[in-house]
A and B are shown apart, each in its own frame.
Chain A
Amino acid sequence: MALLKMEEWYDLARETNWTPSYASEEELYPETMSEDFGIPLNVWETFDEPYKVSYRDYVRAQRDKDVAAYSVKAALARAEFFKNASPHWKALLALHFSAVCWAEFHSASCFGRMTRFGRAPGMRNMATFGTLDEIRHGQIQIYFAYEFLKHDAVFDWCHKSSKTENWIIISLRHALDDIAHTRDGTTAGVMLNMGLEQSFTNLQFVALSADAAKCGDHSFATMLQSIQTDEARHAQIGEPLVRILCENGRKKEAQQMVDISFWRMWKQFSALSGIGMDYYTPLEHRENSLKEFMEEWVIGQFGRTVEAMGLALPWYWDYLKHDIATFHHAQQIGVYVYRATQWWRPIASVSPAEREWLEEKYPGWNDTFGKCWDVVTENIRNGHYDKTVPAPPPLICNMCHLEVSGVAGGEWQPVDYHVDLDGRRYHFCCEPCKWIFELEPARYKGHRSIIDRAFDGTIGPELDDFLNYMGQSEPERGVCGYDYQWIDGYDTPVAAE
């Protein structure tokens, strides 16, 4: 018996809306989980996903991808690769797996909400595949990372990190909780897909996969490619939702969802992937800088996607163009000098050759952020390791929970925004973070940054108290990934004091 072609049955098979008789529509789709924005059901039913797939084809494709990824992993004896990998790449792997494994796995919950509470049958269908994707992404990444555990206890954090109060984890968790885990199915569909997956994740995995291949880490590259293709498919839930909202008088709401979620994810992407791209990727394998990547793929390509959907570019677009050249450089200094608060072994990545690359990609870097590194470098050259760690803690943004930073050195530009509310001062690293807070203060005001907790008595006064609070026993506190040997590139001997 000949099988029907997918296009002959797909539309019929996905028409799964029905008229409930044992429960009301409101009980089936409560507003807090399934906001319809006053748009009638028959309009939501026009949701048309651009990429269609059947369950049969989905399973076949996923099986093939898994076979490919696991085969490459087995064939390439990853453990040997890891032993020989540079501290740069080890730091990047530790950072990637510790931040991404659980985030992917948690995303299954968000897609599960879209699957259950999406108003459009086509959306629910796509979200079902998205749920399965995210479970797979969590599992495959933690499995690949797990192999390293016998060589390096740092990889325990691939599983542990999400359950800690480490400041970087608080930052990422706060952002993902905001856009994905505390929103109704419709809003989460727009925010997660547009603000993270279509703008950043999809592109990040392409770039990281290419870097991994250049570094000879072919199993990591294959695994990332297998994830990226899933992301490209399920990220397409957001676009039809935005179109329906725009065409039915809810453009303002759609714009706000995109503007909030994009900014929240940009800050995470800047700090984590920005450091990964411009500092942790071994110099000989670096090509595009974060700034170049952002200009081409995000400001260019994603910007055009946003406009094609009928939305305006986010209001902070011009500020973003400045931020892509500054924010992550400041964060990299903080990550290195406060390295004990990291669970991995941070890389300075400011040898003379690396500084030359940074100056070429970011003209003026030596006169700005490079000035702070000059001081750190001199202290290491003089053996004053204790002076490479500042005594006072940094100020943390009450939205993105990263350091409140500006431009350093000769072009010094201090940046801080604040809101006073109910007797408490909230600090922000930029105007968009403050704007998000002010849109809905009641949503955000109860959260305390790690620094708020240090000064309200939640955390004890000693450094050990602080590190233990973040889940970091002594062996789990970051040290320089090169044991300061990167300083060897500076050839002028330094006279002892």
Chain B
Amino acid sequence: MAEFPIACNLQGDYGFKVIVVDEDDTIADVIQKTSDQLVGVLVAPFPPDTVLKARIHGAEEPLDDDVTLKGANILQMAALDIYAEG
């Protein structure tokens, strides 16, 4: 287990936050940890059945939910956009 800070901007929020995750966390874990900390604080709850995805900031395609940060070669303090699919 290694502390792994990553910059995430959850859809609706005004800016990036530094979320501390683990390098073995999957992208789905990162999405969950980010939304747990920001939904109901700065971002209104998403409608039921909303699927959140993550992408490297500036990229078109989402990252696979099941891949780990290490597996996706994501560096510490990399910037991710987390957004509602569709």
Interface residues of A (CB under 8 A from B): 329-330, 333-334, 337, 369, 371-372, 374-376, 379, 387-395, 403-410, 412, 414, 416, 418, 420, 425, 427, 451, 455
Contact = CB atoms under 8 A, between A and B. Distances in A.
Given A405-B15, A412-B12, A414-B16, 15 more contacts: A330-B15, A375-B44, A388-B41, A390-B17, A391-B37, A391-B41, A392-B37, A392-B38, A395-B17, A405-B14, A408-B12, A416-B7, A416-B16, A416-B79, A425-B77
Nearest to A411: B12
B77 A393 contact: no
Contacts of B78: 425
11 contacts: A372-B13, A375-B43, A375-B44, A379-B40, A387-B40, A392-B34, A395-B18, A404-B7, A412-B12, A420-B75, A425-B75
A371 B42 CA distance: 8
B42 A333 contact: yes
B19 interface: yes
B40 to A, nearest CB: 6
A394 B15 contact: yes
Contacts of B17: 390, 392-395
Contacts of B81: 414
Nearest to A404: B16
A81 B79 CA distance: 48
A369 B41 contact: no
A333 B78 CA distance: 23
Contacts of B42: 333, 337, 372, 375-376, 390
Which of B12, B20, B40 is the most central at the interface, judged by chain A CB atoms within 10 Å of its CB? B12
A260 to B, nearest CB: 24
Which of B14, B42, B75, B79 is the most central at the interface, judged by chain A CB atoms within 10 Å of its CB? B14
A181 B4 CA distance: 36
Contact of A379 (B19, B20, B41, B75): B41
Contacts of B44: 371, 374-375
A341 to B, nearest CB: 14
Nearest to B75: A425
A401 to B, nearest CB: 14
Contact of A406 (B15, B18, B76): B15
Q: Across chains A and B, which 7 residue pairs bring their CB atoms closest together, nearest first?
A: A405-B15, A395-B16, A408-B14, A414-B9, A392-B17, A330-B14, A416-B79
B37 A404 contact: no
A228 to B, nearest CB: 33
A317 to B, nearest CB: 24
Interface string B1-43: 0000101010111111111100000000000001001101111
A425 B9 CA distance: 17
B15 A392 contact: no
A371 B12 contact: yes
A112 B19 CA distance: 45
Contact of A392 (B18, B40, B79): B18
Contact of B38 (A390, A403, A404): A390
A389 B40 CA distance: 11
B4 to A, nearest CB: 10
Contacts of A330: 14-15
B52 to A, nearest CB: 13
Contacts of B40: 375, 379, 387
Nearest to B77: A425
Which of A329, A389, A392, A425 is the most central at the interface, judged by chain B CB atoms within 10 Å of its CB? A392
Contact of A414 (B18, B57, B75): B57
A330 B16 CA distance: 11
Contacts of B9: 406, 414, 416
B35 to A, nearest CB: 11
Contacts of A414: 9, 16, 57, 81
